[in-house]
């Protein structure tokens, strides 16, 4: 876990103060927070995100201590951003697998955000989850603590496709998770799918789309598989064990998803007899796999915890954190900043 070179930009001073230009627009634009939780049970073969299994972490960083350290950084962010009246309209817990922390830990982090910044009326609070890390009880606890949306990594409904991706959940569990989330009171539940996995057929992709729609989420995201250098998947393709994704096939999968999801989003002529009244609420968003843990929007969005590497503070100051959790635990908060924002 040797750290890489520091990013371009100015070192953050000891008090973590930001340039005046970064604070100038605070309170004048929507405000949100991204909390990165870098823990995973196993590393998926396609993933190059800043995540760590227990074996990879080594000493000095544990799930048990993580919530407390995140809360320390939330308090630091409040001090750095000064006394401007800001309320978070969105809070996103991403990873990694945030739901590897106990619901009480996630609730404590969210409570600290509410205490330091406040949550705007109707704020959207999302947690990403892998299907094997949530159940009826944990979902009920998350909803009771203020989470309003669950984003569940389904990826595929076909077991052999899941195996190529090194996903550990069984087909059918994501759909059950949606039902559990609904029972817990979540009005907003999304499912993530990946298309273009080596060995996936057109029939496999259609089956996954239909399974996702039938589960009754209100949002489905389809991500084109990107083979990232340094991943297990890239190594297997390089050795000839698996075929590389084909661009033409990927384009066809995109079009198939667009057609099927658009049809599912149209209200049925008679929803009472369609058998799927929820289908009229499904929205689709087909896009490429996310390339960074940051948030690239026009809102002021501090990124908290390790690898929240792109955090647009107010007028456009990007900050960088320690990437490796043990180093971040020793020195929470940003290490470098760039102003103006470098795209």
Q: Residues 11-38: pLDDT tens digits?
A: 666 766 777 666 767 777 788 999 999 8
pLDDT at 272 over 70: no
Work out the mean pLDDT of the chain and round it to a whole number: 79
Residue 342: inside a domain: no
User: Per-residue b/e over 211-249, b at no fewer than 16 CB within 10 Å?
Assistant: bbbbbbbbbbbbbbbbbeeebebbeebeeeebeebeeeb
pLDDT of residue 334: 52
pLDDT of residue 134: 97
pLDDT of residue 12: 66
- 8 Å CB contact between 274 and 268: yes
Higher-pLDDT residue of 310, 141: 141
3-state secondary structure the chain: CCCCCCCCCEECCCCCCCCHHHHCCCCCCCEEEEEEECECCCCCCCCCCCCECHHHHCCCCCHHHHHHHHHHHHHHHHHHCCCCCCCEEEEEEEECCHHHCCHHHHHHHHHHHHHHCCEEEEEEEEEEECHHHCCHHHHHHHHHCCCCEEEEEEECCCHHHHHHCCCCCCCCHHHHHHHHHHHHCCCEEEEEEEECCCCCCHHHHHHHHHHHHHHCCCEEEEEECCCCCCCHHHHHHHCCCCCCCCHHHHHHHHHHHHHHHHHHHCCCCCHHHHCCHHHHHCEEEEEECCCCCCCCCCCEECEECCCCCCEEECCCEEEEECCCHHHHHHCCCEEEEECCCCC
pLDDT of residue 123: 96
For residue 342, the cross-strand partners are none
Residue 65: inside a domain: yes
Residue 317: inside a domain: yes
Residue 339: inside a domain: no
Select the highest-mean-pLDDT range: 69-78, 95-104, 279-288.
Answer: 95-104
Span 103-151, pLDDT tens digits: 999 999 999 999 999 999 999 999 999 999 999 999 999 999 999 999 9
Residue 5: inside a domain: no
**Quick one: average pLDDT of 178-189?**
97
Residue 117: inside a domain: yes
pLDDT of residue 241: 97
Angstrom distances, CA of residue 125 to CA of 70, 217, 298: 16, 16, 18
Residue 179: inside a domain: yes
Q: Which range marks the domain in which residue 106 is found?
A: 10-268+276-332
**Quick one: average pLDDT of 70-95?**
89
Residue 343: inside a domain: no
pLDDT of residue 86: 87
Phi, psi for residue 164 in degrees, rounded to 5: -65, -35
pLDDT of residue 153: 96
Share above pLDDT 90 across residues of the chain, in percent, rounded to a whole number? 53
Least-confidence region, from 148-152, 257-261, 332-336: 332-336
pLDDT of residue 298: 38
CATH assignment of the domain containing 141: 3.80.30.20
Burial class (CB in 10 A: 0-12, 13-18, 19+), 336: middle
pLDDT band for position 285 (50/70/90)?
very low
pLDDT band for position 10 (50/70/90)?
low
Total domains in the chain come to 1
Nearest Cα residue to 87 out of 119, 59, 40, 124: 119
pLDDT at 269 over 50: no
pLDDT band for position 60 (50/70/90)?
low
pLDDT of residue 303: 55
């Amino acid at each position: 876990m040797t750290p890489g070179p520091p990013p371009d930009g100015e070192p953050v001073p000891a008090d973590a103060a930001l340039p005046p230009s970064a604070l100038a627009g605070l309170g004048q634009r929507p405000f949100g927070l991204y909390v990165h939780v870098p823990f995973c049970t196993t590393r998926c073969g396609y993933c190059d995100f800043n995540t760590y299994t227990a074996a990879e972490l080594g000493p000095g960083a544990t799930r048990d201590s993580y919530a407390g350290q995140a809360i320390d950084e939330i308090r630091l962010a409040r001090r750095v951003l000064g006394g401007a009246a800001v309320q978070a309209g969105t809070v996103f817990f991403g990873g990694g697998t945030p739901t590897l922390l106990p619901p009480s830990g996630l609730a404590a982090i969210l409570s600290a955000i509410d205490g330091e910044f406040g949550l705007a009326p109707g704020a959207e609070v999302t947690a990403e989850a892998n299907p094997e890390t949530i159940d009826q009880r944990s979902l009920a606890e998350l909803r009771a603590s203020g989470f309003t949306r669950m984003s569940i990594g389904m990826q595929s409904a076909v077991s052999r496709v899941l195996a190529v991706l090194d996903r550990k959940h069984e087909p059918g569990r994501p759909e059950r998770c949606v039902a559990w989330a609904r029972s817990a009171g979540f009005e907003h539940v999304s499912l993530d799918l990946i298309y273009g996995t080596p060995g996936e057929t057109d029939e496999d992709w259609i089956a996954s789309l239909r399974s996702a729609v039938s589960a009754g989420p209100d949002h489905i995201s389809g991500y084109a598989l990107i083979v990232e250098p340094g991943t297990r998947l890239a190594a297997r393709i390089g050795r000839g064990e698996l075929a590389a994704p084909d661009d033409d096939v990927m384009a066809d999968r995109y079009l198939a998803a667009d057609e099927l999801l658009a049809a599912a989003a149209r209200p049925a002529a008679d929803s009472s007899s369609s058998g799927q009244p929820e289908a009229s609420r499904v929205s689709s968003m087909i896009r490429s796999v996310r390339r960074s843990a940051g948030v690239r929007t026009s809102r002021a969005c501090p990124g908290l915890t390790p690898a929240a590497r792109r955090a647009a503070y107010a007028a456009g100051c990007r900050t960088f954190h320690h990437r490796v959790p043990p180093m971040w635990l020793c020195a929470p908060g940003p290490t470098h900043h760039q102003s103006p924002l470098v795209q």
